[in-house]
Structure 1
């Protein structure tokens, strides 16, 4: 009878050793996974830091949510319905009919602009209605209008662009010591498809 009791004791002792081995193996695997995950995280942070140092384009694109288009890819154009407005001339009634197309880097940005189109059209109409025919008939006036339309077209998206006149004034005055971070506009250019002043 001593044999069966000895066999049970040997089986119980062998089973306890197996459980210890299993716990040690599981702990070793978990330790390897944790170390591997930490190493992968460090490598990803190091790679991202290197990309940030290589070019300042990555932070600007991350802030605005708009990626730079790849070189060689054609831009996307967002045509706006033509604008017909009364001008601010006081001596005579004059009006302008202006067709505007916005150039953006990719179709995703074009879709985002289309979502804000009523606000964009309203802003552009407000800019146009404050212009006189004398301002719009010169090349400089058209270029200034294009800059103002660019600024007003991204304002509904929460992007505030500095006006060039404001930048010139800030450069001449020494009051501003801290340089503002440049904001990248999703609209790269404003193009006129029609421009009639009567």
Structure 2
């Protein structure tokens, strides 16, 4: 009689091991499926849209949140001889700096003679054609922005600088 009881007991153990193995496999498959669904749904928006700017925006560090509206610092208009060969051309350029706040504006004012000299030099290196094209204006604005940041020691660090932009209030080429 011991043999049938042992056979019955022996038959129960392999079934419970199989059942345990099936439950473990199901849990692993469900967990893997859930994780895959999470990553696909979360990351799928950028891939579906195919937006390159959205991906670049993720790569850039976050900028400091503005405490209030920016402060605008209009500079005196400058009149400059341009670098055109064979003719004398002039440019009158009105520039406004966009800075974080009034405190930054006061700091920038301390460096105004050096900034104005650098602006004059940057513009005088350009030709009339460069100043009249959109790309030329954008490049000039970026060069002046870099100049102001370097001169004042407020260079961009981790995507942030208190000197935010250079804006043209007027640009006349003659």
Deviation at 1:183, TM superposition (A): 5.8
Name stretches of at least 5 consecutive residues in structure 1 with no aligned partner: 1-55, 61-66, 162-180
Paired residue for 1:189?
A: 165
Q: Secondary structure at the match of 1:136?
A: helix
Deviation at 1:101, TM superposition (A): 0.1
Paired residue for 2:40?
A: none
2:109 counterpart of 1:114:
yes
* Structure 1 Cα separation of the partners of residues 78 and 145 of structure 2: 15
Moved over 6 A (4+): none
Alpha-carbon RMSD across the aligned residues, in angstroms, is 2.0
Paired residue for 1:94?
A: 89
CA contact (8 A) 1:68 1:105 kept: no
Select 1:150's aligned residue among 145, 149, 152. 145
CA contact (8 A) 1:86 1:96 kept: yes
* Structure 1 Cα separation of the partners of residues 117 and 79 of structure 2: 12
2:45 counterpart of 1:69:
no
* Structure 2 Cα separation of the partners of residues 127 and 185 of structure 1: 21
Q: Secondary structure at the match of 2:84?
A: coil
Q: 1:154 to 1:107 in 2, by over 3 A?
A: same
2:110 counterpart of 1:134:
no
Name stretches of at least 5 consecutive residues in structure 2 with no aligned partner: 1-60
Q: 1:105 to 1:157 in 2, by over 3 A?
A: same
* Structure 1 Cα separation of the partners of residues 158 and 85 of structure 2: 38
Q: Secondary structure at the match of 2:144?
A: helix
Q: TM-score, normalised by structure 2?
A: 0.60
CA contact (8 A) 1:99 1:195 kept: yes
Q: Secondary structure at the match of 2:91?
A: strand
* Structure 1 Cα separation of the partners of residues 154 and 162 of structure 2: 9
CA contact (8 A) 1:78 1:104 kept: yes
